[in-house]
Amino acid sequence: MSTYPLIRHRRLRYNPLVRDMVRETVLTKNDLIYPLFVVPGTKVKNPVKSMPGVFQLSIDELVKECKEVRDLGIPAVILFGIPDHKDEVGSEAYDPEGIIQRAIRAVKKEVKDLLIITDVCMCEYTSHGHCGLLLGDEILNDETIELLAREALTHVQAGADIIAPSDMMDGRVAAIRKGLDDNGFQKIPIMSYAAKYASGFYGPFRDAAESTPAFGDRKSHQMDIGNINEALREVAEDIEEGADIVMVKPAGPYLDVIRKVKDTFGMPTAAYQVSGEYAMIKAAGANGWIDEERVMIEAAYAIKRAGADMFLTYFAKDIAKWINKTTK
């Protein structure tokens, strides 16, 4: 292999136009999925304290926000519902008149050309904040997946385009797939949170979604932070069960997992840049300790460079604006 002085890496770096030509990773608006939180009421826009720029929105405000997101060229939102009423069995999760089901219908009626993805889980709807039905302190797997399948079906009946189960129960993808297929929704894709870690980075989300568990943690179903072989087994299983897109979550601290999943399965792969990743960049930016925009873009590049085809991010609008600003 020839070396310096024949080889000069800087030849491709002197000129910004050349740098643009040889850049291996490109961010596009098609990469972006914007998470939104829906609450009961009208004209509600509650700021989430630990996530500057993120709000809990009532349905009327959500519709306005979705129009703005669509006009920016972002193809998809993912919706999380915070119900009026929580109970032991999370009934509003699968109520056809629940907060999320009403929100989907309202957005679908008013906003064209925007994909609605819905998060399917029980934790926002149960009084105890756990991701499923409890027997004592234990989350029941097989009983819970039946409810998740019902929840997903009500979302699709209301007009959801893609279903994203985030609960990490075993067998939920198969149960949801069957529930959808039996009711004529064969064409609706499932984006499974396939490798979802029991992460401290979800802290701010639990403020936004009011879903902090009343006791204990999520370690009995979410993955151990030290594992990657297990992530591959989780992903393989979800694909077998019918997942169309597989997700790794969180994103930034698990770039190795994204790369491995993409290389192993070659599936459409999503990553979730979660609330804590967002909050850290926002906080350091607000303090003037980092250049927020620059770090936001660098973190997004890292996720794509690791192999993600798309990512969920609270920065979606800011990234879309940056793309609009910097694209000639």
Residues that bind ligand PBG (CB under 6 A): 119, 121, 123, 166, 202, 205-206, 218, 274-275
Q: Determine the Cα–Cα distance for residues 64 and 161; give it in Å rounded to an integer.
A: 19
Taking the least distance from each CB to ligand PBG, the nearer of 235 and 279 is 279
Taking the least distance from each CB to ligand PBG, the nearer of 206 and 259 is 206
Q: Determine the Cα–Cα distance for residues 8 and 72; give it in Å rounded to an integer.
A: 40
Q: Determine the Cα–Cα distance for residues 265 and 76; give it in Å rounded to an integer.
A: 24
Taking the least distance from each CB to ligand PBG, the nearer of 88 and 263 is 88
Taking the least distance from each CB to ligand PBG, the nearer of 95 and 119 is 119
Residues in CB range of 57: below 8 A, 6 or more apart: 36, 37, 38, 39, 44, 45, 65
Question: Given CA atoms 16, 20, 25, 29 in this order, what sign does their dihedral have?
Answer: positive
Q: Which of 249, 260, 282, 304 is catalytic?
A: 249
Contact 124, 211 (CB under 8 A): yes
Distances (CA, A) of 210 to 168, 224, 290: 19, 23, 29
Active site residue 178: no
Q: Which of 45, 67, 109, 196 is catalytic?
A: 196
Closest CA to 147 of 92, 193, 107: 92
Taking the least distance from each CB to ligand PBG, the nearer of 205 and 254 is 205
**Rounded to the nearest whole angstrom, what is the least distance from the CB of residue 213 to ligand PBG in the complex?**
8
**Rounded to the nearest whole angstrom, what is the least distance from the CB of residue 123 to ligand PBG in the complex?**
5
Q: Determine the Cα–Cα distance for residues 187 and 64; give it in Å rounded to an integer.
A: 28
Distances (CA, A) of 85 to 95, 97, 161: 11, 12, 26
Active site residue 321: no
* Cis status of the peptide bond prior to 189, with omega within 30 of 0: no
Torsion of CA 230, 235, 238, 243, to 10 degrees: 170
Closest CA to 33 of 254, 280, 251: 251
**Rounded to the nearest whole angstrom, what is the least distance from the CB of residue 227 to ligand PBG in the complex?**
17
Greatest CA span in the chain, whole angstroms? 71
Element (H, E) at 175: helix 172-182
Taking the least distance from each CB to ligand PBG, the nearer of 161 and 264 is 161
Closest CA to 103 of 64, 47, 55: 64
Q: Determine the Cα–Cα distance for residues 318 and 291; give it in Å rounded to an integer.
A: 14
Taking the least distance from each CB to ligand PBG, the nearer of 63 and 280 is 280
Q: What is the DSSP letter of 254?
A: G
Q: Which residue is nearest to ligand PBG (CB)?
A: 205
The residues annotated with a catalytic role in the active site are: 196, 249
